[in-house]
Amino acid sequence: MHTSWLLAALGATAAVAAPASKKSSVRTGPFTFPLPDGFPNPSAAQMQGIYKRAHGTLPNGALPNTISDTTAAVLELIATNELFEVGYFYDLISNMTNGVSGYCVGDKGLETQADYDLALRALKAIDAQEQLHALGANGILAHAGRATIVPCQYTYPVATFEDAITFASTFTDVVLGTLQEVIGAFAGDGDAELAPLIGSIIGNEAEQVGYFRIEHRSPIRIPSSLPFLTASSGPFANSLLNQQVLVPGSCPNASAIAKNVPSFPALTVVTSPVTLQTTTINYSFAASSVSAASGLSVAYINGQNVPVVEAVSNPSFANGKVTFSATFPGDLHGLTIVAVTKNAGPFTSASNVAANTVYGPGIIEL
């Protein structure tokens, strides 16, 4: 038998033992759940408030009774990311409504009251929509008899509204690329009935990132960055989460996710800003000697194109880091994912690059 999305979501979240909440927007420690609306364990009445803010509901169709192990692993990663996003946008909203410096009318990106009002209205809807994405992923897992994902603790690498919008654009673009891989996994592993659901989430996230790109106020950014959005892969999304926002040791499901989706050591894009010109860019990664760069290459993933591979040049070692340079191909709009790979390929896809990655992802957004 099937059950409703709402009942599955409520059942799934009831099993989630979240850490105690810190409601102040001026935090001295990590962000923790629950939210004032009960998330990630909202009551049926609280769900109605989430629906109102989200401008819509969870789907009311039937859920699958069984899912493949691959689909379960994918949904675990989706739920992990969506829980992070819920906390991130809630924290951003709290900073705005509590008058935190950098998030007020007159600050960059919020120059006028109208700018502030539009941003707050949009972000409240986005946060509620992400709540439904998280509840939906956990609801599918629960109904199929799989373990659900428990929230972690989070730190956010931002200090202003401008920072927050820039980072939101980055992680949403990576999510958009990863969800492309998810559709392929569902279709190829016997759970094709879930593919249209992911397609609808891609559309929602794409609307969000178009808004973020406009809010960024860059002279070269328009809402639609590319005709075919950049592909990504689960390990790149998982790596970004682990490197940037998840507090080490705070994720109850970490070992289960790591078993199915690897996470790489960080790759830092040293050169800033990067432009749309062919140029040489410097990168770095943590290592014990310059020999760590031996035999490595740099792969660039942009759009739906075959990844471009460039040589690692001029490696040097100092202060526990290897710094090197590589050619950056010009005219790469939108998201470019950079990975240091153990060989020069050739690589046919983002997944192929991820399977050969040793450091990454570096992120370039234009």
Stated length of the chain? 366
Q: Place 212 in a pLDDT band, splitting at 50, 70 and 90.
A: very high
Q: What is the four-CA torsion angle of 350, 341, 334, 120, rounded to 10 degrees?
A: 90
Percent of the chain surpassing pLDDT 90: 89
pLDDT in the model for residue 229:
98
Average pLDDT over residues 108-133: 98
List of residues 6+ apart from 320 with CB closer than 8 A: 286, 287, 288
Give the model's pLDDT for residue 216: 85
pLDDT of residue 11: 60
**Residue type at 287 in one-letter notation:** A
Q: How high does pLDDT run on average in the chain?
A: 93
Q: What is the pLDDT of residue 122?
A: 98
β 297-302/308-311 pair status = antiparallel
> What does each C-alpha distance from 311 to 248, 281, 356 come to in angstroms?
33, 12, 15
73-106 per-position pLDDT tens digit: 999 999 999 999 999 999 999 999 999 999 999 9
pLDDT at residue 22 tops 70 = no
pLDDT tens digits, one per residue of 141-199: 999 999 999 999 999 999 999 999 999 999 999 999 999 999 999 999 899 999 999 99
DSSP code string of 287-310: -SSGGGGTT-EEEEEETTSPPEEE
Q: Which of 9-18, 23-32, 95-104, 113-122 has the lowest mean pLDDT?
A: 9-18
Read off the pTM: 0.92
pLDDT-derived band at 348, boundaries 50, 70, 90: very high
For residue 16, the model assigns a pLDDT of: 38
Higher confidence at residue 322 or residue 18? 322
What sign has the CA pseudo-torsion 198, 200, 204, 210?
Answer: positive
User: How far is it, in rounded angstroms, from Cα 10 to Cα 36?
Assistant: 16
More confident residue, 150 or 5: 150
Beta pairing class for 279-286 and 321-328:
antiparallel
Q: Which domains does the chain have, with CATH numbers?
A: 5-260 (no CATH), 268-365 (2.60.40)
Contact (CB, 8 A) for 364 and 282 = no
User: Quick one: CA dihedral 286, 291, 292, 298, positive or negative?
Assistant: positive
CB 228 within 8 A of CB 302: no
The mean pLDDT of 261-280, rounded to a whole number, is 95
Helix segments in the chain, DSSP class H = 5-14, 44-54, 69-97, 113-143, 161-188, 195-215, 234-244, 254-260, 350-354
